[in-house]
A and B are shown apart, each in its own frame.
Chain A
Amino acid sequence: MAAGKDSPATRALAFGLLLIAIAAAIALAVAYWRDAGTPVLGGLLALALASVAGGLAVWSRAYIPHEIVTGPREPIASPEEEIEALSSDIVRGANSVGRRRFLLAGLLAFTGAAGAAFVSLLRSVMGPSPQWTLTHTSWAGGVRLVRRDGSPIEADKMPEDSIVTVFPEGHIGDMASETVLLRVKPGILKLPPERMAWTVNGLVAYSRICTHAGCPASQYYDTQHVLACPCHQSTFDILDGGRPTGGPADRPLPQLPLGVDDTGHLIALGDFPTPVGPGFWSWSR
C-alpha cells in the first residue's frame, strides 16, 4: 500500500534531516544568546524549518500511503421546495410584523435619527474643518519669512540665483505653509504687473507643495529656472508664475506676496491667493 521506497537510504535521509533540524534549532538558541547577527539567526531558522520540511516530505513519500481516491460531489443547491418553504416563512413572518405599520414607521424614524447621531460623531473623527484647513496656511500680512533654523531673511543679503526653504515665523515645519524663496535677475521674471508687485527686487516665493499629489517640489534646476517634484516628475516654471510645464501637475504653484518690513527683512503681504497642494472638489470656491 505504501507508495514508499522504504530503503535504508530513505530512512537515513529522513532521520538525517531531522537531526540537522534539531542541531540548527539548538544553534539558533545559542546564536540568540550570543547576540549573533541577523543573517546568522535567519539562516539557522531557515535551515531548521527547511530541514523539518524536508524530513516530513521524505517521510511522507516513503511511509504514508498516497491513495488517490474518488469521492462523490453531492449537488450543492437545495431542492426547489426547500427554497420556496424558506421564502414563504420569511414572507409570512414579515407580514405579521408589517401589519403594525405605526411601529414599523417608528422603527424607521429611529434608524434615521440614530444615523444622524452617528454621522455627527464622525465629525469628531474628521478633526479640523476640511474647507478651512485646505484653504488657509499660517501665512498672513506682516509675518516674517524665516529659514528652517528660525533666522529671518534680509532682502538685500540674499545672493542672485540662490534658493531657500522658508516658513512663517513661529510655524517652522508647518507643512501647508512650506514655501520656496528664490532670487533671480529681476529682468527675467515674466509676471503680469500685479504679480510683479508681489516680488522684491528679483525675490519671488512659491508654495513648495506640488499641486499634483502634495509631495514637496524640492528640486531646483537653476539653468532652466524650473522646480521639479521628485514623486511624479512634475515641473514648474518659476519665472512664469509657477506655471506647470511638464508631468501630471496642471495648476501653478501658488505665489506668496512678498514685501519688506522696516528692518529690511522679508515679510508676507498676505496668504497664498489660491489653496496650496493637491486639488479638491471645492478648490476654487
Chain B
Amino acid sequence: MMRLLRWIDGQLGLSRLARKEVVGKIFPDHWTFMFGEIALYSFVVLVLTGIFLVFFFKPSAETVTYGGSYAPLAGVPMSQAYRSLLDISFDVRGGLLIRQMHHWACDVFLAAIILHLCRLFFTGAYRRPRQINWLVGATLLIMAVTNGFTGYSIGDDLLSGTGLRIAFASALSLPLIGEFLAFLIFGGNVPNPAVIPRLYALHIFLVPALIAALLATHLGVLVRQKHTNYPGPGRSDTAIVGSRFWPAYAVKTSSFFLFVTAILAALGGFVQINPVWLYGPYFTGAATTAAHPDWYFSWLEGGLRLMPNWHATIYGYLIPQPFFAAVLVSLVSFGILYAWPFVVEKVTLDLDVHHVLGRPREHPVRTAIGTAVLAFFFVLTLGGIDDTLALIFGGRVSPLRDILRGLALGFPLFAAGVAYLVAKRLSGRPLPSDLGSGPPDHTGPDEPRTRASD
C-alpha cells in the first residue's frame, strides 16, 4: 500500500488533497440526495451498454432485404440501420437484453435528472455559490434530452422516422435561419441518407463526450464547494455534517450503484421497451396513430398538439405554428431555467452564500412557482398523448384537446394556490426527526469531531 501511494505521490504530490477531499470527504445523508446518484449510475450503464451496441449497430440508410430470424419481416426491404437493430434484438445473443437496458437506462437517466432538478429547486440549492453548478446541470439536462432523441431516431423504424419529420419541421420553423439550420442539422430534406450517420456521430461521440465533460465539471464543482446540508443541529454555513467517503459512504454508494444496475437489468429483461420489430421499417408515407415519443419528449409533442393553429407573417415572411408550439416553448422553458437563480437574486437581493437548504414549507412562494411549472409541464405531457387518452376514455380527441388547453392555463394556477396554502399551513411545524442522519452531539465548525451513530 505504502509503496503504491508513495509512487503516486512522487508523481503528483496529491496525498494531502486526496486525504482531505476524497477519503475524508463528508457526504450528508438524505434520500433526496440519491436522485443525482441514480442519474450518474444510469449514465454509467448507458455507456457500458452503449459500447456493446456499437459493435453491432450499422448506421446506414442503404436498403437491404431482411433475411434474419424474425419471420414476419422476412424478405422486407429495409435500411441497414433497422436491419442491424433487428439483428441485435433477435440474432445477437444477449443483444435484446442490452438494447432494452440501454433504453430503460435512458428513461431512468432523464427521470433522475428531473427529480434531482426538482430537489435543487424546492430546497433553494441554486443560491450562491451553486449558480455555476445549476448552469452546468441545466446544460446536462439539454444534452441528455438531445441524446435520447438522437438515440431513438437512428433506428429507422416507423416511429423514429415520424419523429425525425417533426423535428425537421420544428427546426425549419425558426424565423430567418430555420431553413439553413434544418439543412445544417439534417443534411437536406428529411428523410435522406445523411441523417442516420449524422445523428449516430452525435449520439455515440459528440453528445456523450459533452455529457461526460459536464458531469466531471458538475462533480468537480461539488467537491470544491462541498455538499449542501438540510437544516438540523450542527449544520450551518460554516460546518458540514455527514459521513466520510471512506469507508462508510463508499461501500454504501457501491451497493447503491449495483442496485440501480440490477433494477435496469430487471427492466431490460422483463419489461419490453421500444419493440421496433412491431413498428416495422420506416418508409415514405407511413405513420401510425397513437404513436408517442419517449416520455421526456411528450411535453414538446403536447405543445405541438395543444397550441392553436396560429402563425405570424412579417413582411410576407412566415413564422409557422411549430415555432410557437415547440421552439418558443422550449427556448422560454430553458431560458427561464438558466435565468432562475439570477432572477431570484435580483428579486430577493440575497447575495449571501448558502450551504443549508431551505425546506419547501418555509418558502411558500418558491414552492408555489415550482408546483405551477410542474403542473404546466404535466398538462403538456398529457397533451402529447391526447389521442391515446381519448381512446382510453372513449371520447373524441378535439373536445379533450380543448379541455387540456384550458387545463394548461388553469391547472398551474390552481396547483400553485394549493401548494402555497399547504406550505403556509405546514410552515413552522417541527421538522420530522428523520431528516438527515440524526443529530450530532457537536456543534461548532472548528475541529472535526466524530461520534458513532445509533
Give chain A's interface residues, CB within 8 Å of chain B.
1-3, 32, 35, 38-43, 45-50, 52-54, 56-57, 59-60, 64-73, 75-77, 122, 125-128, 130-131, 133-134, 165, 173-176, 178, 208, 212-216, 218-219, 229-234, 244, 246-251, 277-285
Q: Are A46 and B448 CB-contacts (below 8 A) given A53-B256, A59-B251, A230-B288?
A: no
Binds A, one of B119-127, B310-318, B365-373: B310-318
CB contacts (< 8 Å) of B225 on chain A: these are 76
A186 to chain B, nearest CB (A): 27
Complex: chain B residue closest to A167, CB-CB = B284
Q: Is B44 an interface residue (CB 8 A)?
A: no
Binds A, one of B161-169, B204-212, B334-342, B418-426: B161-169
Query: Considering the complex, which residues of chain B in the window 228-265 have a beta carbon less than 8 Å from any beta carbon of chain A?
Result: 234, 237-244, 247-248, 251-252, 254-259, 261-263, 265
**The one of A49, A76, A212 that contacts B322, using a Cβ cutoff of 8 Å:** A212
Binds A, one of B4-12, B50-58, B434-442: B434-442
The reply to whether B179 and A73 form a contact with Cβ atoms under 8 Å apart is no
Query: Considering the complex, which residues of chain B in the window 258-312 have a beta carbon less than 8 Å from any beta carbon of chain A?
Result: 258-259, 261-263, 265-270, 283-289, 291, 301, 304-305, 307-311
Complex: chain A residue closest to B239, CB-CB = A70
Q: Are A126 and B180 CB-contacts (below 8 A) given A49-B258, A134-B189, A212-B322?
A: yes
**The one of A41, A47, A230 that contacts B291, using a Cβ cutoff of 8 Å:** A230
Q: Is B387 an interface residue (CB 8 A)?
A: yes
CB contacts (< 8 Å) of B100 on chain A: these are 38, 42
Complex: chain B residue closest to A230, CB-CB = B289
Question: How many pairs of A and B residues are in contact by the CB < 8 Å rule?
Answer: 299
The reply to whether A68 and B451 form a contact with Cβ atoms under 8 Å apart is yes
The reply to whether A38 and B451 form a contact with Cβ atoms under 8 Å apart is no
B326 to chain A, nearest CB (A): 8
Query: Considering the complex, which residues of chain B in the window 440-454 have a beta carbon less than 8 Å from any beta carbon of chain A?
Result: 440, 442-454
Q: Is B85 an interface residue (CB 8 A)?
A: no
CB contacts (< 8 Å) of B191 on chain A: these are 175
Q: Are A72 and B397 CB-contacts (below 8 A) given A214-B166, A219-B289?
A: no
Q: Are A71 and B179 CB-contacts (below 8 A) given A43-B269, A49-B265, A278-B169?
A: no
CB contacts (< 8 Å) of A68 on chain B: these are 241-243, 437-438, 440, 450-451, 453
CA distance A82 to B444 in the complex (A): 28
Q: For the side of the interface on B, what is the size category? A: 35 or more
Q: Are A43 and B248 CB-contacts (below 8 A) given A49-B259, A56-B255, A130-B183?
A: no
Q: Are A43 and B173 CB-contacts (below 8 A) given A76-B225, A250-B321?
A: no
CA distance A283 to B448 in the complex (A): 68
CA distance A41 to B191 in the complex (A): 36
CA distance A71 to B451 in the complex (A): 12
Q: Is B355 an interface residue (CB 8 A)?
A: yes
Complex: chain A residue closest to B192, CB-CB = A127
The reply to whether B452 and A67 form a contact with Cβ atoms under 8 Å apart is yes
Complex: chain B residue closest to A212, CB-CB = B321
Interface string of B179-203 (1 = CB under 8 A from A): 1101110011111101000000000
A63 to chain B, nearest CB (A): 9
CA distance A133 to B194 in the complex (A): 15
Q: Is B353 an interface residue (CB 8 A)?
A: yes
CB contacts (< 8 Å) of B440 on chain A: these are 68-70
Complex: chain B residue closest to A124, CB-CB = B187
Complex: chain A residue closest to B26, CB-CB = A71
CB contacts (< 8 Å) of B320 on chain A: these are 212, 250-251, 278-280, 283
CA distance A45 to B98 in the complex (A): 11
Chain B CB count within 10 A is highest, among A49, A65, A71, for A71
The reply to whether A67 and B189 form a contact with Cβ atoms under 8 Å apart is no
The reply to whether B248 and A60 form a contact with Cβ atoms under 8 Å apart is yes
**13 A/B residue pairs, CB under 8 Å, sorted by A:** A46-B269, A50-B262, A69-B448, A73-B226, A73-B239, A130-B182, A212-B321, A213-B169, A229-B287, A234-B309, A248-B321, A249-B309, A283-B320
